[in-house]
Amino acid sequence: MKKIIISFTPIFLLTGLFSIAQDLDFPVTAPKHYICYSNENPIVIDGVLDEQDWKNAAWSDAFMDILGPKGDQPYFETRMKMLWDSQYFYFAATLEENHVWGTLTERDAIIYFDTDFEIFIDPDGDNHNYMELEINALNTLFDLFLKRPYRDTTKVDIQFDMPGILSAVHINGSLNDPSDLDKSWSVEIAIPWEDMMEYLPGNRKPMDQEQWRINFSRVHWETDIIDGKYVKKKTDDGELQRELNW
């Protein structure tokens, strides 16, 4: 069975999304790794991870706060797993959530304004020329490309598109219904190698035993229920409460 070795590093090092991270004293630790095996049978992208190949694939560790051990640890669990074959790079994730909601339905909207799941693909690990993908509980996608990290004040290429991408969301509960409690939502994504080929090392698919650098993030907004609808929480000063980044 073929495999790719995936290396993880703290997301702010990859993207520079949050300037606060640059001012904190983080210990230098070896990045975590994940062995991504090739699937033996076709994967149906329906948000339900019921294929045997998915069952055989290991879950990642639970996501932690973007600030690492110094941050407050998440109160909802998020985990992911990966597979690959000759056509697609597959991603799956399960996000615990007692109120699953979403508002954004337009492709390439700024999806992190909703609670979302995010993937950052930097195959050669140099922090440059990497792809980002975001998805919310409505299965709305935002794909973009960065030549340099956010912290380098680079312009984000939101015209970048992966036209052959397949995605689905399955909700263990209900969507946008504050009257009940939900358990989780799961994401299933297949990215065609052809959609990424221009940006891959050597403009080719990965080879067995090759090591890539990829990272993941979950953006979580806390909400109140007002007049039967979800509303993002505000601070005592009336400002929108900042999102949590896990």
In this predicted model, what pLDDT tens digit does every residue of 178-223 receive, in sequence order?
Answer: 999 999 999 999 999 999 999 888 899 998 999 999 999 999 999 9
Residues for the chain: how many in total?
A: 246
Q: Are 192 and 163 in contact (CB under 8 A)?
A: no
Mean pLDDT confidence for 157-166: 94
The SS3 assignment for 97 reads coil
Q: Which pLDDT tens digit goes with each residue over 13-31?
A: 333 333 333 344 555 667 8
Nearest to 27 by CA among 6, 10, 8: 10
Q: What is the dihedral of CA 78, 171, 143, 81, to 10 degrees?
A: 40
Range 157-177 average pLDDT? 96
Domain that includes residue 174, residue range: 3-245
Count of the separate structural domains present in the chain: 1
SS3 for 217? strand
CB 155 within 8 A of CB 141: no
CATH of the domain at 195: 2.60.40.1190
